[in-house]
Amino acid sequence: MELFSIASGSSGNCIMAGQGDGRLLIDAGVSGKRIEQGLNALGYRTSDMKGVLVTHEHMDHISGLGVIARKHGIPIYASQGTKEAILKTKSVGEVDESLFHVIRADEAFWIGDLKIEPVKISHDAAEPTAYMIRCQDKSAGIITDLGTYDDYIIEKLKGVNLLLLEANHDVNMLLTGPYPYFLKQRIRGGLGHLSNELCGQLLGKILHDDFGAVMLGHLSKENNFPDLAYETVRLEITMSDCPYTGNDFPICVAARDRVTKMPSF
């Protein structure tokens, strides 16, 4: 199973995941040109992708969707709420509605040999969805824009081999930073984003002997630093009650503006 980040952060998100002949994009929140360049760096082309799994309709996740849909005719998988919100977003441009395949949380579907399991998440969007991707006995999860986590999320992540998980902000940086009060409250709230601390705490609840690696994603440009996210998550795991430490498996941080490779598993 492979999981690569083409871009990840508050300014744009696009992930590639898959195995064998099946490769998918998760979100298309940067330009079509950047997506193509990122995939080329990995030895792929946009036209090779079997589909785009869209998590939600915020522009940092769909800004390039219209371009690649019109140019390549790639199938788009999204919840009903997300589909309707995308079609109403004028800046995306016209998208052929027949390209959409409506998915539902907790109802698995197949794209070739890849089994896709949509997961409902807490975020201030129409009907946001995270995704688990499985092929044979390997699995990858892409979980960002998560205001909070609960037993449902923990259960969905149990047994995952590769994981891209949100570590959006450092709480102290957010509270003392330049954002207006309402935005700070939105980010910290149950429909906002996962902090470095909560990211590490969630990881501590789902680690297992066959866990491969985690990539920290969707970092805030204003309220986080890659090294801070890495060290905080590593420390939270080490301090948790789980039998592992933050040094027991690879942790990498997805770059904002370039491809980030993750060990395959």
| Domain ranges, ordered by start, for the chain | 1-106+127-132, 146-254
CATH architecture of 1-106+127-132: 4-Layer Sandwich (3.60)
- Given a cut of 90, whether residue 109 has pLDDT beyond it is yes
Distance from C-alpha of 69 to C-alpha of 167, rounded to nearest angstrom: 29
Overall average pLDDT of the 179-204 stretch: 97
- DSSP-assigned states of every residue in 90-135: GGG----GGGEEEE-TT--EEETTEEEEEEE---SSSS-EEEEEEE
pLDDT one-digit tens code per residue, 112-144: 999 999 999 999 999 999 999 999 999 999 999
Rounded CA-CA distance 87/8 in Å is 23
Q: Which two tokens stand for residue 111?
A: 């794209």
Region 95-114: mean pLDDT is: 97
Q: Residues 142-163: pLDDT tens digits?
A: 999 999 999 999 999 999 999 9
At residue 99's C-alpha, the angle toward residues 42 and 138, to 5°, is: 45
As given in the structure block, the two tokens for residue 90 are 């004028």
The candidate with the shortest Cα–Cα distance to 120, out of 49, 51, 52, 191, is 191
DSSP state of 257: S
Q: What contacts 205, CB < 8 A, 6 or more positions away?
A: 154, 240, 242
pLDDT band at 254 (very low <50, low <70, confident <90, very high): very high
- Cα 154 to Cα 76: distance, rounded to the nearest angstrom: 27
- Taking 90 as the threshold, does the pLDDT of residue 56 lie above it? yes
Q: In this structure, what token pair is assigned to residue 141?
A: 């999860």
For every residue of 146-194, which 3-state class applies, written as one string? CCCCCHHHHHHHCCCCEEEEECCECHHHHHHCCCCHHHHHHHHCCCCCC
* 265 has a pLDDT exceeding 90: no
Amino acid at 133: I
Those residues with Cβ within 8 angstroms of residue 91's Cβ, 6 or more apart along the chain or in another chain: 59, 63
DSSP letter assigned to residue 196: H
